[in-house]
């Protein structure tokens, strides 16, 4: 891939939920979470927190945006939803890597988080202006007000929520997540959750609690909620 010259230059110079208790889930849930090393085994559930005030009938071709913390399953579920709807799928982090020719950790190392967030904001603005797509956003995309405004105004937003403990189980072996390269990644996830959960809820049209069922079960729930809102009806066969 072509390396972005800017990187080369940089090298040179809802109702309130109970607070997370930090307690481990039952053994069965922990065992299921350990299977997350295989994306096909992503545990999910069909529990939703539907925002009836913002849920309105939309254009059937409205964009569908996924938000949530790292490890929530946005890319896995988003890609499956796009396949079922016969739509184009994008992952904002993957698009940034493709455009720059550098992995996300490298961008963080060379430009810091502010530099990455600037690139991310440009990418979110570009992708959300497309029509009829499914988009998985980066975990920190909601931090900037302009990103939240774009997501809310240009599509239907699905928040995939998971507890910090479950997210830690899913991401603890992943070295491509720069914000978790700390001595205590679990504590970092808990801190990120406290800051970002309200922002995800702010933009979300509905919330899905992720747990143990199959990816297919979650995809079906997403499609059902989209259909109820008049969005993204499955193409006729």
Q: Domain holding 51: CATH number?
A: 3.40.50.300
Question: Per DSSP, which regions of 113-226 are E strands?
Answer: 133-136, 155-161, 206-209
In a domain, 213, yes or no: yes
Task: Please indicate, yes or no, if residue 8 is contained in any of the structural domains.
Answer: no
d(CA 159, CA 186) in angstroms, rounded, equals 21
Q: Is residue 235 part of a domain?
A: no
Q: Residue 67 in contact with residue 201, Cβ under 8 Å?
A: no
Structural domain that includes position 174? 27-228
Tell me whether residue 11 is in a domain: no
Examine residue 168 and state whether it is found in any structural domain, yes or no: yes
Q: Tell me what pLDDT residue 233 has.
A: 59
Q: Is residue 56 part of a domain?
A: yes
In a domain, 9, yes or no: no
Sign of CA dihedral 72, 77, 79, 85: negative
User: How many folded domains does the chain comprise?
Assistant: 1
Can you list the residues of the chain whose pLDDT is less than 70? 1-58, 168-184, 211-213, 232-237
pTM listed for this prediction: 0.72
Q: Which pLDDT score is estimated for 172?
A: 55
Q: Quote the pLDDT of residue 207.
A: 92
- Judge whether 55 lies within some domain: yes
């Amino acid at each position: 891939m072509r390396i972005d010259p800017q990187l080369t230059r940089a090298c040179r110079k809802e109702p309130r939920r109970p607070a997370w208790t930090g307690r481990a889930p039952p053994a069965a849930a922990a065992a299921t979470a350990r299977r997350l090393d295989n994306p096909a085994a992503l545990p999910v559930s069909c529990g939703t927190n539907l925002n009836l005030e913002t849920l309105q009938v939309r254009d059937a071709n409205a964009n569908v945006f996924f938000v949530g913390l790292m490890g929530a399953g946005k890319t896995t579920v988003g890609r499956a939803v796009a396949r079922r709807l016969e739509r184009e799928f994008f992952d904002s982090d993957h698009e940034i890597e493709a455009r720059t020719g550098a992995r996300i950790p490298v961008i963080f190392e060379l430009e810091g988080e502010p530099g990455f967030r600037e690139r991310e904001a440009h990418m979110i603005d570009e992708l959300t202006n497309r029509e009829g797509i499914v988009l998985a956003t980066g975990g920190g995309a909601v931090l900037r007000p302009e990103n939240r405004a774009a997501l809310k105004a240009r599509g239907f937003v699905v928040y995939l929520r998971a507890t910090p403990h479950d997210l830690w189980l899913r991401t603890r072996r992943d070295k491509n997540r720069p914000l978790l390269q700390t001595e205590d990644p679990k504590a970092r996830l808990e801190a990120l959750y406290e800051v970002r959960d309200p922002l995800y809820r702010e933009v979300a049209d509905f919330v899905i609690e992720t747990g143990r069922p199959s990816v297919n079960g979650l995809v079906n729930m997403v499609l059902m909620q989209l259909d109820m809102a008049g969005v993204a009806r499955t193409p006729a066969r």
